[in-house]
């Protein structure tokens, strides 16, 4: 028995990095998937890879800051796969990296739209679908940045991602009685295009890797395993958490 047998899951940011690793892992674990990202070609390639291995995956290209996209993802889960059980709301952006006074109000709003308002929009459509199913699990990808550690140049990123932790706590208490679990996943530095964009020189990479107890950055597959746990019934008594998967960066002092 696999961990997501017959479960229907939405994964956003599924064309790359952590979301792609989660899509491949969730498919191996029996989930039927509705995959989201903006770039249609890269996203379809992931869906095709899953279908070639005998899995079920539909790619829907769109922007997570767009309300209609979330409606379309949930409707696709319902019309093509019969309902929704799980959503891994994972897409995100750092936005421009630099001192706050150099950030325009429009850039700030754009980062909040992609990282935080997207969480509201996702939950708005996903929660009624989970209720109709009698329960389920929502996971939002946050980060240790702005939760347990400051990180220069990432003010909008930190503010928007830590906002997700508040959202998760309220939704967990509101929807727990209905059998819906809601959790935040807080990765540490991970070897993805986003991770490489932030740590974009050998020196920066060495600095970032040196922050955690293992002195290396995570593989996206290691973060996907934690997402699988939170999304699956293995986490049946876990809700309202901000689960750090950061290699101990938050407790490390040497
Ligand atoms: P990644 O490899 O760059 O992948 C980002 C994914 O999100 C891509 O599929 C991208 O596809 C999609 N995406 C970006 N903006 C989008 C938008 N507006 N609408 C829809 N899809 C969008 O990044 P990653 O490292 O896997 O990041 C995944 C999540 O982990 C993010 O929320 C990030 O903040 C978080 N995180 C990452 C790290 C790290 O070190 N990598 C650490 C902590 C937390 P398109 O560009 O085609 O849309």
Cα separation, 253 vs 243, whole angstroms: 20
Q: Ligand 1 centroid vs 71 CA: distance in angstroms?
A: 20
**Which residue is closest in CA terms to ligand 1's atom 8?**
13
Nearest to 137 by CA among 251, 26, 47: 26
pLDDT value of position 187: 98
Listed by start position, the domains of the chain span 8-244
**Residues with a known catalytic role:** 157
Residue-level pLDDT at 4: 98
Task: Give the residues across from 139 on adjacent strands.
Answer: 88, 183
SS3 93: coil
Which pLDDT score, from 0 to 100, does residue 254 have? 78
Task: Answer yes or no: is the C-beta of 196 below 6 A from any ligand 1 atom.
Answer: no
Quote the pLDDT of residue 253. Answer: 87
> How far, in Å, from the CA of 177 to the mean position of ligand 1?
31
* CA–CA distance, 205 with 235 (Å, rounded to integer): 33
pTM, 2 dp: 0.99
Q: Which positions ≥6 away from 243 have C-beta within 8 Å?
A: 183, 184, 185, 186, 226, 230
**Amino acid 9: pLDDT:** 99
What is the edge-to-edge ordering of all strands in the sheet holding 32-37? Answer: 56-61, 32-37, 8-12, 86-89, 136-141, 180-187, 242-245
Residue 184 parent element (H or E): strand 180-187
The hierarchical CATH code for the domain 8-244 is: 3.40.50.720
In the prediction, which pLDDT does 68 show?
99
Is 139 a pocket residue for ligand 1 (Cβ < 6 Å)?
no
What string of pLDDT tens digits covers the 254 residues of the chain? 799 999 999 999 999 999 999 999 999 999 999 999 999 999 999 999 999 999 999 999 999 999 999 999 999 999 999 999 999 999 999 999 999 999 999 999 999 999 999 999 999 999 999 999 999 999 999 999 999 999 899 999 999 999 999 999 999 999 999 999 999 999 999 999 999 999 999 999 999 999 999 999 999 999 999 999 999 999 999 999 999 999 999 999 87
Measured N-to-C along each axis, helices 67-81 and 118-133 cross at an angle, to the nearest 10 degrees, of 20
Residue 42 burial (CB < 10 Å; 0-12/13-18/19+)?
middle
DSSP 8-state class, residue 4: T
Let me know the angle formed at the C-alpha of 205 by 203 and 208, rounded to the nearest 5 degrees.
Answer: 110
Residue 195 Cβ contacting ligand 1 at under 6 Å: yes
Atom 5, ligand 1: which residue's CA is nearest? 13
Whether ligand 1 lies within 6 angstroms of the CB of 143 is answered as: yes
SS3 per residue for 46-66? HHHHHHHCCCEEEEEECCCCC
Q: Do residues 35 and 15 lie in contact, with contact meaning Cβ atoms separated by under 8 Å? A: yes
């Amino acid at each position: 028995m696999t961990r997501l047998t017959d479960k229907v899951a939405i994964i956003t940011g599924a064309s790359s990095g952590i979301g792609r690793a989660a899509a491949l892992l969730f498919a191996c674990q029996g989930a039927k998937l509705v995959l989201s990202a903006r770039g249609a070609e890269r996203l379809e390639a992931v869906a095709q890879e899953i279908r070639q291995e005998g899995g079920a995956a539909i790619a829907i290209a769109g922007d997570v800051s767009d309300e209609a996209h979330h409606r379309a993802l949930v409707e696709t889960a319902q019309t093509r796969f019969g309902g929704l059980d799980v959503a891994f709301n994972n897409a995100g952006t750092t936005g421009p990296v630099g001192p706050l006074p150099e950030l325009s109000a429009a850039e700030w709003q754009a980062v909040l739209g992609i990282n935080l308002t997207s969480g509201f929009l996702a939950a708005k459509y996903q929660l009624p679908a989970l209720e109709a199913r009698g329960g389920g699990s929502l996971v939002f990808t946050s980060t240790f940045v702005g939760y347990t550690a400051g990180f220069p140049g990432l003010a909008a990123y930190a503010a928007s991602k830590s906002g997700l932790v508040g959202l998760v706590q309220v939704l967990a208490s509101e929807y727990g009685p209905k059998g819906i679990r809601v959790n935040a996943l807080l990765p540490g530095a991970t070897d993805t295009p986003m991770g490489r964009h932030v740590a974009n020189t050998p020196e920066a990479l060495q600095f970032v890797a040196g922050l955690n107890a293992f002195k290396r950055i995570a593989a996206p597959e290691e973060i996907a395993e934690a997402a699988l746990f939170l999304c699956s019934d293995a986490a049946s008594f876990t809700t309202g958490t901000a689960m750090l998967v950061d290699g101990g960066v938050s407790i490390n002092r040497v």
